[in-house]
Structure 1
Amino acid sequence: MVAAALLAAAIVAVASYGLGARWATEELQSRFEAIEQSLSGSSFPLHERVLDSLAELTQTELVSVNAAGAVIHSTIDLDDGAQGRFESSEDGRTFHTLSFPVRNEVTRQDRVAGISVLFDKSQIEASRRRAAILPLATGLSTILALTTIMLLLSSRLINRVGKLQQRVELVAGGDFQSTVSDDIDDEIGRLGGAVDSMASQLSRLWSQINRQQSEKLLHQIAGGMAHQLRNSLTGARMAVEMHAQQCPAAEDEGIAVAIAQMEVAEDYVRRLLLVASGRQDEDRPAEVQSCFEDVRSSVSPIARHLHVSMRWMVNGLPAVDVSHSQGGVGGEILDGPTWIAAASNLIHNAIQAGNDVHVELRAIRNDCVRLSVSDDGPGVPESIAADVFEPFVTSKPEGMGLGLSVVRRAAERLGGDVRWRREIDRTCFELDAQLR
């Protein structure tokens, strides 16, 4: 761009000088024609005083010659070597000479046959320079202004392109979070927006791929663990049932809870084996309040054993026998075991994290219920807060990071969502599920 500007300036300079020379030549020719028109047909004598006055008036030098070409009178002292050519004077000045004949030279008393008009070459050059200055100054100032503007715009454009290049390199390296688009609606701005959109799509695709890989690994782990647990659970349940038959107490809460937990564990194992084999268990719709009571009955003894204060609340739900036609909330959830597994997971995490746990089940719409579980524990570490629902993400040294990922999958299967927040020194998880 600088080279182009310099070339344009050189072209403007040459063109301006050529234009100035043309204007100066035309002016010189116009002056000569005016002098010729005034003197060629004059009837007054062209003696020394007249020529001196005319030379001063026209800012030229005049030389009169007779028919033989000899000088009659000259307004300057000519160089001896220049006689007949009138190219220079004794003071070193050089001239451009134009001549014209005088009419009626035979009848003239002054015997003048012709007049030579001498134009000082230094004045001609000065006139050319003056004529060239205006277009030269205009052209150069325009080039300078345009070059400065273009350099500023190009510099800004180069900076934006450089940022776009860095962004594309970051995206190619796996960084899908930073952005490069700006608020300028031009080609670069739209290209930056397209790169950001591509990065966002790649981020979602990358997360989906990682999730699929994690789920595949989870299925493999689930299958291996389920095969090992099935035999152990069968033996443990047989031992507990034999002990229950021999126990003198008619009703032993501990044994009942143990058998119920083993039944739940066996159901988990069965479902894990189905998942590992690539199959899905059939949905088993269940009344949401019954599921809630099952969770409370199984978790409450554990909370008492750990000396954790539990508060259970049910708000806005109808009784079991209330139907849709009566205007109440539908009581059945799509798959009871899935909801029980997710709710139990959230409550067990809260019991492990804090000493005071609140569990609330309430209707948020006619077709949706929300389970809220809050505890007074320290909360989710900031390092894993954004990925807490991803598989194998955990802050527990002994944990595998599968519980909350199972809760999220359960929420998706139940047509709902799961989220968490921290407020007033308490951590709250919310599980939404659709009702049939």
Structure 2
Amino acid sequence: MRLPIRYQYMVPLVTVAIVSLAAISAVHAWLTTARTRERVERQLQGVAAVLVDSGFPLTPKVLDQMSELAGAEFVLASDSGEWLSSSLSAEQKIEWPQLAEVADDADEVTLGPMLIVADRPYYYSSLELADRRGGSAPQVLHMLFPQDEFNTAWRAMFLPPLAIGAVAIAAVMLATGLVTARINRVLSRLGREVQRLADGDFSAVEVPKVNDETRDLAVAVNQTATRLAEYEAETRRTEQMRTLAILGSGLAHEMRNAATGCRMAIDLHSEECHASTNAANDGDDSLDMARRQLKLMERRLQKFLRLGKETSGDHPADIDLAELVGELVALVQPSAFHSGIHFDWQSPSVPTIVHADAELLSQAVMNLLLNAVDAAAKRAATTSSSGTVRATLSREGELVALTIADSGDGPPRAISKTLFEPFVSDKPEGVGLGLAVARQVADACGGSLEWTREADETRFTLRLPAVKEVMVHV
């Protein structure tokens, strides 16, 4: 059974308030009754004292006047019960209580038993007086205080606090209702937002303006949404890498075999034709370049299955990054020259020793170089102008920075924020793995890979920690 939080808060509070009001009302009713009775008795005692101390006869007129002042009825009777004077009608018949005690002094007058006179209830009390006519027999002054007058006085003392208590309960109910209604609204909205998170929408929720626990809850939901979005992206990337590794394992094996066979065929052809072509092709290193490209292809295919796994490097060692980049530039320059791209590379004079796996690092740098050549060639083909690719290597404190800039148009805005994720590419024939692999290699080496667009150039900067021993001698 669903119990709304509004009732979970309101029912206990209102119950406590009602029980407290009932207990207070019971105590107050008892105290009010006692105080009202005490006040009425003092009033009657005052009237009795005036009558006792006065020396004038207690005629019906005098008793009528005292009745108007005291709000009670008086009957003066002889010791035998004969009415001598009264503020009541003489025709009314009253049977006085037989067991009622007659007070001897005005201070002893109290409200006694209930007495019905003409269908009207009265509190009865009596006082013994000396005979004002000179006789020796005592007289009895019977006093009747109306019960409705008593009740009126009682209500005047009891009802105002009770009304204030009822208003307080109503205020508690209203305040509790307003507070719980707000909490219900916030929790309902957060419930919908959490359900939205469960459905895969990780956008931030609106944070309440009031700085309380509900605001903290909304902030926690936003933090959870951010982490879930990161986890989802990482999971998607991991699954993509895993899928690529599974699908590519067979393809890599076949391509490696084909590349090996092609390289062996070139080696045999080179040995058979060495004598006849040595003189004619003096200085022609195209076959040597083809062999180097095929060897590089074999190594790349062997490393292909590393994608999607922890890339810590099988053989990390101290590598001169300038030498490695120089070798890779030599492989890329023929393709750049064929595409009409001017390739600018100057080996730095400062030490550029880093600690990494040579195969993985060369794979990352080669991807950056090939992307730069493709981008510059594409720009040159559409503008009928020559393109440029510039590779620079420098030191930035404790880091070695390799910057590869090209004159291409740069990545489209649609993929600018996801450029390093797998399968993100604007090339019709591309699969979007080159930059993903490069970023993974940079992270594995403790470095970073970033890109910027400055001065009509697209610049990719690979930063790697320099070897500390080398830094000491710089």
Residue 45 of structure 2 is matched in structure 1 by: 33
Residue 356 of structure 2 is matched in structure 1 by: 334
Contact (CA 8 Å) 2:399, 2:463: kept in 1 or not? Answer: no
What is the aligned counterpart of 1:364 among 379, 390, 396? Answer: 396
Which 5+ residue runs of structure 1 have no aligned equivalent?
320-328
What's the CA shift string for 1:374-412, capped at 9, x where partnerless? 554252443x44443233333444332221221122102
> What TM-score, normalized to structure 2?
0.72
CA distance in 1, matches of 2:391, 2:88: 121
Contact (CA 8 Å) 1:167, 1:180: kept in 2 or not? Answer: no
Contact (CA 8 Å) 1:102, 1:113: kept in 2 or not? Answer: yes
Cα offset for 1:361?
2.5
State the secondary structure of the residue aligned to 1:390: coil
What's the CA shift string for 1:335-357, capped at 9, x where partnerless? 33322221221232233345355
When structure 1 is superposed on structure 2, of 193-202 and 62-71 the one drifting more is 193-202
Residue 142 of structure 1 is matched in structure 2 by: 168
Aligned residues: 420
Kindly indicate whether residue 17 of structure 2 is the aligned counterpart of residue 12 of structure 1: no
What is the aligned counterpart of 1:345 among 363, 367, 370? Answer: 367
CA distance in 2, matches of 1:362, 1:278: 28
CA distance in 1, matches of 2:443, 2:146: 100
State the secondary structure of the residue aligned to 1:102: strand
What is the aligned counterpart of 1:298 among 319, 327, 331? Answer: 331
Contact (CA 8 Å) 1:345, 1:404: kept in 2 or not? Answer: yes
Contact (CA 8 Å) 2:131, 2:138: kept in 1 or not? Answer: yes
Cα offset for 1:195?
5.5
Contact (CA 8 Å) 1:271, 1:281: kept in 2 or not? Answer: no
Which residue type is aligned with residue 362 of structure 1? S
CA distance in 1, matches of 2:308, 2:180: 59
Which residue type is aligned with residue 21 of structure 2? V
CA distance in 2, matches of 1:308, 1:82: 136
When structure 1 is superposed on structure 2, of 384-393 and 242-251 the one drifting more is 242-251
CA distance in 2, matches of 1:138, 1:353: 83
What is the aligned counterpart of 2:157 among 127, 131, 144? Answer: 131
CA distance in 2, matches of 1:56, 1:150: 51
What's the CA shift string for 1:190-221, capped at 9, x where partnerless? 66666666555555555554444333333333
Residue 323 of structure 1 is matched in structure 2 by: none
State the secondary structure of the residue aligned to 2:349: coil
| Cα separation, partners in 2 of 1:60 and 1:358, compared to 1, 3 Å | farther
Kindly indicate whether residue 63 of structure 2 is the aligned counterpart of residue 51 of structure 1: yes
Contact (CA 8 Å) 2:256, 2:301: kept in 1 or not? Answer: yes
> What TM-score, normalized to structure 1?
0.77
CA distance in 2, matches of 1:76, 1:251: 151
Residue 107 of structure 2 is matched in structure 1 by: none
| Cα separation, partners in 2 of 1:128 and 1:252, compared to 1, 3 Å | farther
CA distance in 2, matches of 1:261, 1:296: 12
Which 5+ residue runs of structure 2 have no aligned equivalent?
1-6, 97-114, 380-386, 468-474
What is the aligned counterpart of 1:269 among 283, 288, 301? Answer: 301
Which residue type is aligned with residue 250 of structure 2? G
Contact (CA 8 Å) 1:389, 1:405: kept in 2 or not? Answer: yes
Residue 288 of structure 1 is matched in structure 2 by: 321
When structure 1 is superposed on structure 2, of 15-24 and 25-34 the one drifting more is 15-24
- Pairwise CA RMSD of aligned residues? 4.1
Which residue type is aligned with residue 12 of structure 1? L
Which residue type is aligned with residue 37 of structure 2? T
What is the aligned counterpart of 2:460 among 407, 418, 429? Answer: 429
Residue 399 of structure 1 is matched in structure 2 by: 430
Cα offset for 1:108?
5.1
CA distance in 2, matches of 1:278, 1:159: 47
CA distance in 2, matches of 1:124, 1:261: 118
